[in-house]
Amino acid sequence: MSNQANKQSLDMSLPVKLVIIVSAVVLMLAVVNGLTSEKIASNEAEKSNSARKEIFTDATGFSLVNFQLTKEEEKSVSEIYAAEGSGEDLLGYCISVVGSGFGGDISLIVGVNLDGSVMGVQVISHTETPGIGSVALDKDGALLSQFVGASISEVQGVSAVSGATYSSAGVMEGVSVALEVAGRLLKEGY
């Protein structure tokens, strides 16, 4: 009888001890999260922000644009920012898009001028094969520099990097979508 009671209390102690361990660990994580979460959030915002600044070097600020996208566009376009100059005048738009490359998605920010041509293209993240597909995404490389100044009809004429056809096509796809969205944006006047 007493033996049975003993067993009962033993079994009860297992979950209690586990709960103690779990709550101690969770407490520790809550503390560390409190210390790092702001920094992590600002890091992420900083990355896209610095990419936008590299495209529009004269801009003093960027503000989020709320624009009605079509269902098709929503799949690839995530954010649109308006680049503003010193007098709060509009310089152009920065459009975050994804194109599909060889190994997965390529996230880009495409800067578009007020005349609807490309101001610059920045690669945010990609999973292309290092040394092969990634060559097409090199900063100031053969592909990305071709887009500067291109209008929507000229994008298809951009020549792909040899050996990186899929990656190049992924970037072209992203840029075309961005230019299409920007064209509508400019027409409807935001």
Partner 1 sequence: MLNLIVISISAILIENFVLVKFYGCCPFLGVSTKSSTAVGMGMAVVFTMTLTSALTYPLYWFVLKPLGLEYLQTIAFIVVIATLVQIIEMFLQKSIPALYSALGIYLPLITTNCAVLGVALLNINKEYNFIESVVYGFSAGVGFLLAIYLLSVVRERMSYADIPKPFRGFPIALIAAALLSISFMGFQGLKLPF
Partner 2 sequence: MAEKKQSKKNFYLQIIKDGIIFKNPTFIQLLGMCPTLAVTTSVSNGIGMGLSATFVLIFSNFFISLLRKFIPAKIRIASYIVIIAGFVTVVEMVVKAYMQSLAESLGLFIPLIVVNCIILARAESFASKNEPLASALDGLATGLGFTLALTVISAIRELLGNGTLLGFNVMGENFSPALLIILPAGGFLVLGFLIALVQYIMQKGKGEK
- What residues line the site for partner 2 (CB under 8 A)? 13-14, 17-18, 21-22, 25-26, 28-29, 32-33, 36-37, 39-40, 43, 47, 125, 129-132
Q: Comparing C-alpha atoms, which of 106, 125, 96, 122 is closest to residue 167?
A: 106
Q: For residues 123-152, which are near partner 1 according to CB under 8 A?
A: 129
User: Using the 8-state DSSP alphabet, how is residue 1 labeled?
Assistant: -
CA distance 85 to 18: 58
Q: Which residues contact 79 (CB under 8 A, 6 or more apart)?
A: 48, 64, 95, 96
The Cα diameter of the chain in Å comes to 89
Binding letters toward partner 1, positions 88-127, x by CB under 8 A: --------------xxx-----------------------
29 belongs to the binding site for partner 1 (CB under 8 A): yes
| Shortest Cβ 130–partner 1 spacing (Å) | 13
166 binds partner 1 (CB under 8 A): yes
